Structure 1
Amino acid sequence: MRRIETIASEISNLFNNLTKETLIENGGISASTLADKLGLSRSNVSADLNKLFRQGELVKVKSYPVCYIPVDSIKKLFNVSQLPTQEFSNIEELKDLSENKPQEKIKETHDPFEEIIGYDGSLKKPISQAKAAVFYPPHGLHMLLLGPTGSGKTYFANKIYQYAVYEHLLSADAPFKSFNCADYYQNPQLLLSQLFGYCKGVFTGADEDHKGLVEEADGGILLLDEVHRLTPEGQEMLFYLIDNGMFSRLGDNGTKRKANVLIICATTENPSSTMLDTFLRRIPMTIQIPSLKDRGMKEKVELIKYLMLQESKRVKKSFRVDMDVINALIHSVNYGNVGQLKSQIQLTCAQAFLNNLYNKTEIRIAIKDLPEEIRDDWLSSSQNIQRSKEISKYVDIVTVISPGVSQSDELDEYDDSNIYNLIEEKYNYLKKKGMKSDQIYKYVLNDLHLHVNKFISKNSVNYHLLKFIDPKVYDLTVQLKKIGEKELKVKFDRRFLYYVGMHIDSYYKRDKQESNVENINIEDVKNNFSSEYHVAQIFAEQINKKLNIDLPEMEIIYLTMLINSIEKFDDKKTVSVLVAAHGNSTATSMVAVSKELLGTAPIYSLDMPLNISPEELFDSLVEKIKTIDNGKGVLMLVDMGSLNMMENKLMKKTGIKLKTIPNVTTSIVLDTVRKINYMNLDLNGIYESVSKDFSDSYKLATSGKTKVILSICTTGEGTAKKIEQFLNDIIIHYSDDNVKVIRASALHLKDSVAKVDKNYQIIASVGTKDPKLNVPFVSLEELVSGHGEDELKRVLGVKVNSKRTNSNKMVISDICLDTLNKYLLYLNPTRIIKMLMDWIKELQIQMGKNFNNSTIVKLVVHTAFSFERCVSKNPIHYDDEVSKEVASFLPLLNQTINPMENKLDLHLDKDEKLFICEILNSV
């Protein structure tokens, strides 16, 4: 039985005899609990539970931890034939399930924008702008969507409508009307009649009164596609509607009708060159939808998989898609759009369907199924190998797309571990197409590297699969591993057993049939990988001796290529770690804990009896360091005494780079392993990172004095008090220790610090001047930006993922007020700050961005001084050449700052505004 089937069976049995009350009381089952029950790894169980969820077999309860319940059990217990959703926020929501209760009572928790591919990538800004526009009081901001044909503007507009309903800004039955202005471009009168309606008899054929789309969209959204085709008269009628909420039908003599409509315009053209300025000014939110070619590789891959999933559902068969197909389709994106891509995928799937007509379960989609122009263009591309490497981060050599699954699932490791048939197909196809042998060879070798490295990067090889290999093959592979390590002077991990074992086993499965690839540059392989070829020959001798199999030359070549691919593991080898501690099992225990919690890592232990001599200790360290070094150096984590003093002597003796961290604890070991596994740091980087994280804890542990944070300030009294209040707020919320905040004057800093240091233990300092103490210092700028708060939490021993209140916004206001109080002569600082903060809020809405605190401070202070200079008639001049980027912000700045200029009766000149535009350009 496959693992996923075991999990499905177990979870079904667990809920088989439960009552409704027991289910609600106990909830579902988590991945961790189920993993413990079955003796499986949590990550594998979690992956399979999610797969069953996507297949519609499980319900997900998004509590903490996330739990799962069989759909059939819920239907049976609650007597319902259909579930309104497969996701529930908590177990209590199940109480609302009943055949007699409307589905609407189950709260919808899914943001429609999250369904869009790229919602957290290339479309993050457009979505943020759309949300801001929809929420803008009282009825939202009208929007203009810009983007090339096929970029998804209409789809995006639909999501805006769904989001407005989801957030209850529109009623569930609110209308969404769409109109393409280009359809009636040749007949302006008909175009306007479709939009605004007409009265009986206004033109030939108008036999009765007719509602227009504006009237039909009342209370909802109207999408005007290709809006640049709207006549000037139509634009004027539309902005009258926007201004007054009123319109007239064609032929209405003075009759005005009301309509509350949110208008979304869409165009492929430059709006400023095709539309009236008076109309554009009434559409304040402009949203740029990126073209397909401008979107990232991950999004392009996801889009292709999604479009193929739709085709898979149509034909009701699974697709097995070669990575080359995805590569070629992405290459075609460079001159196409989503609409064209969809057509190309439909053509490809149709051809593959024809080629697999008699296969009842699945369809294989290969290069030969692509439209000829795409296939030929891909074959001639010089970027294929590089693109393959990038694509391989998101798909495997073969990707399975199933019609019953909401997203494609990559192939299990075991199913296609024998990649050689794929390589043969690819080689023969490319050869028939006339590609040169050396180029084909590069493709084949690249695919093999990608196939191996794909699983290495996932760290997902399931070694229990080896039980499916003949025991003789397995035993032989273990011996071959030792031979390979000795001959090549490398260290292979257990993944070697998986790949080499499966290769030999797959030769059995092909009934010892030799690969049919012709002339795969055998001489090149021998010359380029002579050492690996020599080892492969030794392997062949051992295989012949142990299994009585005489491997043909092509299988030896494949073994050579495979060994070379496995050697690529060395490219990602990292710093080795040696935990050395006195005692019979101290070091071993710490290393065992780290491996249990964080998995495998290049970490080793050396236990040393207390009675060992310094000479014996030194010799043991030398031998161990030489054994474990991967060529990247060794980080020693030691406990005490002479171990901490041997670093230089050991480097001289071994010739290996070393760094030593003393006072080792299990926490330090865990932190080191985590950073080696997940951070790409060299020896110095690991050493500095771990040392920095734990240096403060040493100091805190060695002092009995009351801990303090110094607050040093040279700005006004208001800022100093606010910083003190802010620090106390952090301490109260995040520390159980008695930590005080003491203010120190920056003018007499040396004396102030000496006095505090004598009576207290200073654990950090904050403010406008660094006292140069051996503790973390947080500048005022860092505190304002938010980074400083994280540093202070770390000093207090808090994980920096807690959400904070907006108390630091109050610090901003006070810092700005202190500065303006000090330097403004004519303007009222309190009044100008309030106006500027309101202006900044408007800017953020228009730009669809949240400014960081540093930006807000810059904008407030600089703009206040600009108005001050305006009063004194002493403006500054913008002498640099105005860039297009900076100039592009002028219309937005003029629009948003004009109300403030009118209130103050002060109007900034263009040069002053350009300096403000520079700040906006840097956001």
Structure 2
Amino acid sequence: MKRIDKIYRQLLQNFHKTDVHHLLNVQGNSAKEIAQQLKIDRSNVSFELNNLVRSKKVIKIKTFPVRYIPVEVVEKAFNKKWDTEIMEVKELKQFSENPKKIHQNISMNPLELMIGAKGSLKKAISQAKAAVFYPPHGLHMLLLGPTGSGKSLFANRIYQFATYSDILKPGSPFITFNCADYYNNPQLLLSQLFGHKKGAYTGASEDKAGLVEQADGGILFMDEIHRLPPEGQEMLFYFIDSGSYNRLGETEHKRTSKVLFICATTENPNSALLKTFLRRIPMTIHIPSLEERSLKERVDLTTFLLGKEAERIKKNLSVHIDVYNALIHSAKFGNVGQLKSNVQLVCAHGFLHNLDRDEVVELTVRDLPDEIKQDWMSSSKNMKRSRTISEYVNITTIISPIVEDETTKIDDDLSFNLYHLIEKKVEVLNKEGLSKKEINQYILTDIHLHVRSFFNQRAFRNDNLLTFVEDDVIQMTKQLKEVAEDELHCTFDRKFIYFLSMHIDSFLKRGKQIDVLNAQETDEIRDTHVKEYEVALIFKDKIQEHFRVTVPEIEVIYLTMLIHSIKTLKENKRVGIVVAAHGNSMASSMVEVATELLGSTPIAAVDMPLSVSPAEIMERLAEKMKQVDEGEGVLMLVDMGSLAMLESKLEEKTGIKIKTISNVTTSMVLDAVRKVNYLNLHLHAIYDSVTKDFIELWDRQPAASPGKKRALVSICTTGSGTAKKLEDILTTIVNKASDAPIHILTVSSIKLANSIKEIEKEYEILATVGTKDPKINAPHVSLEVLIEGEGEKMIQQAITKGTIPMSNGLSGTNIIVRELCEDSLKKYLVFLNPHHIIDILLEWLQTIQDELGIIFNNTVMIKVIMHTAFAFERVIKQNPIAFSEEDEITDQLKEIFEVTERTLIPYEEKLGLNISDDEKLYIAAIFAEEVYGHMC
């Protein structure tokens, strides 16, 4: 007999003589009770019971612990057909008194089904019901709550409740509108809300119904209502008062619509909204933040979100209590949306680790995203939290897929299934013959070696460990522990057994470790941890002999890292990193990118606006050094060589060992963080490794170099915005023109005289670029000349002492064009990839110049690229512009038009988009003006 049949038979046997009174008192069996009766592991019993619930053979009663009862037992006791899978005990009791009424409420009432309906949402639900029922057509509502607290979901459930209660007809509209999308365009906002008449404005080619008209007889949900400008609020409260409106462009036609408004905001409504508008929204409903919800509700929310992911995966999830613990305490700022995002990340990681398993996806601490894992590991409250959470979940909880009732189902974009994409991608890459390593790099780009994920976990007893690891592996690990203690002359505690046995068990199940280290990194580990590597080789021999498997070299490397990590567990010291750069946010941005991609590490940013004095910079740096120091020293990454000169002063001031690298880039920060997080190298090893990787970008030992260092000086009115863009352009030009290190220094034009004098003491200034000429013995390029194109050649000549490097096509002149266009296109293009479209259009411009026998300056090229990129975008939006009938189409323009049209064909085919003739006329007119010297 199958295990599931044994469990079902035992349940039936336990309740074969039950009646209503007995059923309401006992309420079914828990998984633990059945497990003890059958001597089966409790987690396996729970897994099968949930399968029985999904097959509608068993009902789950939401007690603590959860209890189960066969459907046929309940139907016999109540003499009633049963079709629900999950219910509360009190609902079971009420059902015995009024089965028809309560059974309907259990399965149908959308608001009562919400998690927290009888807790933190009780008042909000009561208010919503009152607003829906208020005669004659309900009260307009304003939902208040932090970002991600669930305001959109609550609005949707209000709509479902109104339909359920027959206040709205079935199929009545529920329209969502985000006010932030149109807050800076009142005319477009007016058109969106109330519609427009054909010809009401340029581009209005046909009549269009607005949202107010579409929502007639239903609900219009207006999210981020605080972003609605005063004009928009006035439009709305006029409509609320009168019930009538006109489409944009209409004067004689008064239209009417009956709409219930639900508005939502994260702001204080009294400061963000007009008082005259607020008076029209009489019902204000507070949606609680995650922190305001009880622990039980947060557990239930997490379980529900995990169930939705299980539905996407189409497998059960086996969730460890520590994952619950970390998830529930990870979402900050009251954000249920963030909790959902974290749940999806955990499930994605777990899915990847369990691709070869058919039945269940296990979620353990290793599957947590790095930042959540770090928070969980560093918290001293974990033991207490785990004890509290254990009232609601088991050590391992089996979660089955949740399929919501059609009446309460929220459109959660199930059409986009991350797990299907992962499976398909693995399948495709396998067929292409890629190695497991290469597939891993494609799919797990944000998942790195998790050696440090073992840190600071609470020690598990061996009997708990047996639930995860075979006893054979534990016994072998005990032998390896003795070997390591003898060889390394130290004593390990029981954490060694836990960490190493989990690692070996994982290796044996996979059959092969996924290699995410390159040759240089493995060499660094061997050289840095010589003794640990020798012990790992002994481990290799014993594992191969005992388990009769082949242990590859990469596994020996991982064992080396693991041994070292466990050996230094009590110290837990890492090299700190301080990133210092001029400007208002450059350093912060680089640190933010690094921590977002690679997880938390001892790292800090020091932003240095040009107005900050050297003394203040020293204080800030010293403060940050102390903040990130864990006893292993600090690596300082700086943007200018002058900051490197502070190294000795900072060491003296803080007592911390410091190594400094100049010309910091985001790539360099990422490399340093990765090495600190995953290689566990000491300060000098990390410094040497990073300098080897980035030696071409900067001068490794600036203080020891003979003569002065070379520099370009960027001069701007401020230290932000334009200065940053100018620095990016100059960096690109330098990288193309010279292999030798050249520093880019940014100075304020306000303090220009003194700044230049200080720079000249240390640097040879090759050229200055920017808003003001410092009048020194070096060429100066104004912004105007730089943008036009000639300035780039002047800078190249200054760098190369008169010679200009060989250019490849437009590569010598398109740096500025690319930089300036890409910034604007990134901001305004919605559908097209800015980087890709610029490449295409630069290639096309080269063809045009060859055809016309002319070289365009940068200004013309920028104008053409911007116009043509938006022309392609308008094709997608089906909103082309028309060539003005007032402009004469001359023979000269026709000639240029023919060249424009012909040369564009290959690029239109490449993009699959055809620009209209009118758009091409406008583009041709730009070329014609350059060719013939006047507007055609």
Q: TM-score, normalised by structure 2?
A: 0.38
